[in-house]
Structure 1
Amino acid sequence: MTAVRYEQRDGVARITLSDPDRGNALSPPTVAELARAVRRARADDVHVVVLAGEGRAFSVGGDVSAFAAAEDTEQMVDDLAEALHRVVSDLHRMDAVVVSVVQGTAAGAGVPLAAAADLVLAAVSARFTLAYTKIGFSPDGGSTLLTASLGLHRALRLALLNSVLTAEDLRAAGLVAQVYPDDELAAAVEDVVAGLRAGSREAQVAAKRLLRETATPAAEAALRRETLSIRARAGSPDGREGVAAFLAKRTPSFPSSLR
Structure 2
Amino acid sequence: MSTVEYEQRDGVARIRLADPERGNPLTPSTVGELGRAVRRARADDVHVVVLSAAGRTFSVGGDVSAFAAAADVEQMVDDLAESLHRVVSDLHRMDAVVVSVVQGTAAGAGVPLAAAADLVLAAESARFTLAYTRIGFSPDGGSTLLTASLGLHRALHLALLNPVLSAEEARAVGLVARVHPDAELDAAVEDVVATLRAGSRTAQVAAKHLLRETATPAAEAALRRETLSIRARAASADGREGVAAFLGKRPPHFPSSTP
- SS in structure 2 of the partner of residue 59 of structure 1: coil
Unpaired runs of 5+ in structure 2? none
The corresponding residue for 1:258 is 258
- SS in structure 1 of the partner of residue 128 of structure 2: strand
The corresponding residue for 2:89 is 89
Output the amino acid matched with 1:203: A
The corresponding residue for 1:210 is 210
Matches within 5 A, 1:9-158: 9-158=9-158
Output the amino acid matched with 1:240: R
- Once the two structures are superposed, what CA deviation does each residue of 1:203-235 show, in whole Å capped at 9, x if it has no partner? 000000100000000000100000000000000
Q: Distance in 2 between matches of 1:174 and 1:232?
A: 30
Output the amino acid matched with 2:12: V
Q: Distance in 2 between matches of 1:116 and 1:42?
A: 15
The corresponding residue for 2:164 is 164
- Once the two structures are superposed, what CA deviation does each residue of 1:105-134 show, in whole Å capped at 9, x if it has no partner? 000000000000000000011000000000
The corresponding residue for 1:200 is 200
Q: Distance in 2 between matches of 1:81 and 1:222?
A: 12
Q: Distance in 1 between matches of 2:231 and 2:76?
A: 8
Q: Distance in 1 between matches of 2:151 and 2:2?
A: 36
My pick for the range that moved more, 168-177 or 17-26, is 168-177
Q: Distance in 1 between matches of 2:119 and 2:36?
A: 21
Q: Distance in 2 between matches of 1:136 and 1:175?
A: 24
Q: Distance in 1 between matches of 2:103 and 2:11?
A: 24
- Once the two structures are superposed, what CA deviation does each residue of 1:134-173 show, in whole Å capped at 9, x if it has no partner? 0000000000000000011110110000000011111111
The alignment of Structure 1 onto Structure 2 pairs a total of residues equal to 259
Q: Distance in 2 between matches of 1:115 and 1:57?
A: 16
Output the amino acid matched with 1:42: R
Unpaired runs of 5+ in structure 1? none
Output the amino acid matched with 1:194: A
- SS in structure 2 of the partner of residue 25 of structure 1: coil
Q: Distance in 2 between matches of 1:88 and 1:60?
A: 17
Q: Distance in 2 between matches of 1:3 and 1:248?
A: 27
RMSD: 0.5
The corresponding residue for 1:233 is 233
- SS in structure 2 of the partner of residue 51 of structure 1: strand
Q: Distance in 1 between matches of 2:106 and 2:195?
A: 26
Taking structure 2 as the reference length, the TM-score comes to 0.99
Q: Distance in 1 between matches of 2:28 and 2:245?
A: 22
Q: Distance in 1 between matches of 2:236 and 2:101?
A: 35
Taking structure 1 as the reference length, the TM-score comes to 0.99
Q: Distance in 1 between matches of 2:236 and 2:53?
A: 31
Give 1:175 deviation, angstroms.
1.8
Output the amino acid matched with 1:178: R
- SS in structure 2 of the partner of residue 46 of structure 1: coil
- SS in structure 2 of the partner of residue 50 of structure 1: strand
- Once the two structures are superposed, what CA deviation does each residue of 1:57-96 show, in whole Å capped at 9, x if it has no partner? 1111011111111100000000000000000000000000
Q: Distance in 2 between matches of 1:171 and 1:152?
A: 17
The corresponding residue for 2:6 is 6
Percent same amino acid among aligned pairs?
85
